Structure 1
């Protein structure tokens, strides 16, 4: 989509989309670790991103 200014951070803990608490442990599998992603984008870019996500479901 050509979005710029994104960052991803591994979190210590977080709630997934199903409301389940995810915490990072030494032996935890990589796909179950909480990650925070942030973008600095315009409102138009955010609207296009949300529209793309809504069409994927």
Structure 2
């Protein structure tokens, strides 16, 4: 864990909210779950860009 990036050391917990907004602007989705190895696992899906 990156100790410089957590709420105990002054983080604001906004990373996932910002990521969600960026992904939504690109018409994608984000989901979260538990990793089989422990911790969190995030899945981001973005549509293919048409040419």
TM beyond 0.5: no
- The TM tier, using the shorter chain, reads under 0.3
Which structure ranks higher in relative contact order (CA pairs < 8 Å, sequence separation ≥ 6)?
A: 1
Structure whose residues are more often strand by fraction = 1
